[in-house]
Amino acid sequence: MNFKKFSILLAAIALFVSTLACGSTAPAGVSNIYMANDAEGKNKTSTFAPTDVIYVFFDVNQVDNGSQFQVRWFALNVDGQDPNEAFLTTDYTYNGEPTIYAQIESTQGGFPAAQYKVEIYLAGAKVGEQQFSIQ
């Protein structure tokens, strides 16, 4: 094997080993955001009944323990509700789980039929959102 091919092979091995040493190659933050109507996240959906408990799940990648997440819920077209103002905000301190979920449920007989969205923030910066509807 000539020197040039040997150098390329060594560089490739070094890159592979450094990738293994660093752990996950996913970018820092959140990924795989989805909605479900069960606490296990098995019944994925983006359409809910007015009386459903609504869950949002997301995977956490390369985030330090103690980091602050915030989940903000918005009604986009409900009379009397400003679509730019969250009607519910939940704060969460990260402690190592690979997947986090947040939930909402109506305490007044059901959510109005409308379009909604949930936004996820990490350390004050928006890192994801998911839209859903209630019918």
21-64 confidence digits (pLDDT tens): 444 455 678 999 999 999 999 999 999 999 999 999 999 999 99
Query: Residue 57: exposed, middle, or buried by beta-carbon count in 10 A (0-12, 13-18, 19+)?
Result: buried
What does the pLDDT look like over 74-122, one tens digit per residue?
A: 999 999 999 999 999 999 999 999 999 999 999 888 999 999 999 999 9
What's residue 108's pLDDT? 85
Strands 88-93 and 125-134: unpaired
Specify whether domain 27-134 bears CATH 2.60.40.10: yes
**17 pLDDT above the threshold of 70:** no
In angstroms, rounded to a whole number, what is the distance separating the alpha carbons of residues 92 and 70?
6
Domain ranges of the chain: 27-134
What's residue 7's pLDDT? 45
Tokens of 98: 């690979």
What's residue 2's pLDDT? 56
What's residue 107's pLDDT? 83
What's residue 89's pLDDT? 97
Residue length of the chain? 135
Count Cβ atoms below 10 Å from residue 52 Cβ, excluding itself.
19
